[in-house]
């Protein structure tokens, strides 16, 4: 049987109605104070529950892990209760939903959370900014430079591992079907993976084996807490923004994939570059990853449905993520099925922040008569 985006899929015991994945997208709509998920967010995710699987926007595991204003957390009871609104709404629509667990590491500013950032080493990410919402017109985000991070002690590392573990437990309490450990895009775990941001000389730095240690220890702790079937990992081998260019990263990612295979996690989610002139992912990398990792492989990065179906049919991936298309088209799978028109982003001012439905839950569905 030919595999397409509309083919059902069993993801390590979790039944998905199709292979469309709604990719994680930061939208900064959490209620203030205290970064609490809310009814508007529940409506937003519920509208898009025709995806076989939804991965939420990144959610910080602690105040220290926060890097951008108004992003939701998963470390207080109020946040857990807020997320229950979201999971209930998505499950009513028969979809599945994972929470993305986030620690930004050095990509932060005291203007965001009142704390000095911390990372593997005391190296500031060059030409990197985060955003706040103080004083900007139209409620826009104001971008501020990241600050010099504190080099994490071994006690800091132990504490972060426990925070990931507790966040995963909280996510299950909130009703999520699982969690995705954010090891991509220049944030804390990715900072440990890369030789240019990690210049430690202890067991968490130096060799590739040492640089993957934090990822594997966090992943094992989460899997032990909630089960391997509920544990996924996101990686970004071909993305180097936030001052993350590392010539060894492909070898490091493949070594990490072997360790994730040993742990038995449910999936590896590749975050791939989504700009027009982005580097193309070599087929050799996809083939090696498939030969290395036996569970679910997800690819996200501005794929067309045709490109997605080709990857599925060649058995190089099992699910394909779509971000901006789901942002503007809550019924994206139906529009693909009918090969009909797509909504486009109407106002860039509404991408991040805002407390109303404008540019968030007001994108129209297809006419019911189509």
Q: Which residues are catalytic?
A: 187
Report the chain's terminal Cα–Cα distance, integer Å: 28
Helices (H), 93-178: 110-113, 154-173
Structure tokens at 310: 């080709």
> How many Å apart are CA 361 and CA 95, to the nearest integer?
18
Is residue 266 within 8 A of residue 11, CB to CB? The reply is yes
Contact 214, 204 (CB under 8 A): yes
Give strand pairing partners of 299: 270, 320
The residues pairing with 271 across neighbouring beta strands, listed in sequence order, are: 300
CB 98 within 8 A of CB 232: yes
From 291, 246, 241, 301, select the one nearest 269 (Cα to Cα): 301
E strands along the chain, which residues? 9-11, 14-16, 20-22, 53-60, 96-102, 118-119, 129-132, 142-145, 150-151, 178-182, 231-235, 267-271, 296-300, 319-322
């Amino acid at each position: 049987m030919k595999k397409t985006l509309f083919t059902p899929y069993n993801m390590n015991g979790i039944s998905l109605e199709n292979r469309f994945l709604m990719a994680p997208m930061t939208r900064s709509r959490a209620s203030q104070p205290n970064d609490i998920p809310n009814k508007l967010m529940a409506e937003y995710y519920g509208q898009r529950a025709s995806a076989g699987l939804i991965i939420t926007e990144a959610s910080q595991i602690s105040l220290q892990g926060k890097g951008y204003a108004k992003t939701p957390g998963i470390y207080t009871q109020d946040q857990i209760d807020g997320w229950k609104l979201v999971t209930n709404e998505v499950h009513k629509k028969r979809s599945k939903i994972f929470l993305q667990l986030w620690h930004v590491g050095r990509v932060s500013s005291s203007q965001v959370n009142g704390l000095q950032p911390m990372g593997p080493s005391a190296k500031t990410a060059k030409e990197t900014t985060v955003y706040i919402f103080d004083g900007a017109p139209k409620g826009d985000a104001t971008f501020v430079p990241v600050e010099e991070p504190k080099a994490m002690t071994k006690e800091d590392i132990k504490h972060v591992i426990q925070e990931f573990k507790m966040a995963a437990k909280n996510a299950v309490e909130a009703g999520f079907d699982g969690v995705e450990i954010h090891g991509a895009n220049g944030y804390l775990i990715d900072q440990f993976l890369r030789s240019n941001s990690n210049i430690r000389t202890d067991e968490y730095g130096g060799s590739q084996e040492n640089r993957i240690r934090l990822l594997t220890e966090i992943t094992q702790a989460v899997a032990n807490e909630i089960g391997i079937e509920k544990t996924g990992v996101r990686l970004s081998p071909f993305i180097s923004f936030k001052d993350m260019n590392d010539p060894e990263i492909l070898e490091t990612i493949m070594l990490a994939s072997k360790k994730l295979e040993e742990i038995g996690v449910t999936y590896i989610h590749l975050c791939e570059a989504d700009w027009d002139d982005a580097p193309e992912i070599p087929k050799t990398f996809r083939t090696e990853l498939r030969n290395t990792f036996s569970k679910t492989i997800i690819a996200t990065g501005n794929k067309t449905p045709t490109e997605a179906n080709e990857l599925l049919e060649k058995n190089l991936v099992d699910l394909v993520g779509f971000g901006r298309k789901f942002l503007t088209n809550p019924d994206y799978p139906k529009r693909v099925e009918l090969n009909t028109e797509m909504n486009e982003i109407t106002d860039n001012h509404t991408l991040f922040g805002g407390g109303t439905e404008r540019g968030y839950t007001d994108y129209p569905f297809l006419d019911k008569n189509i």
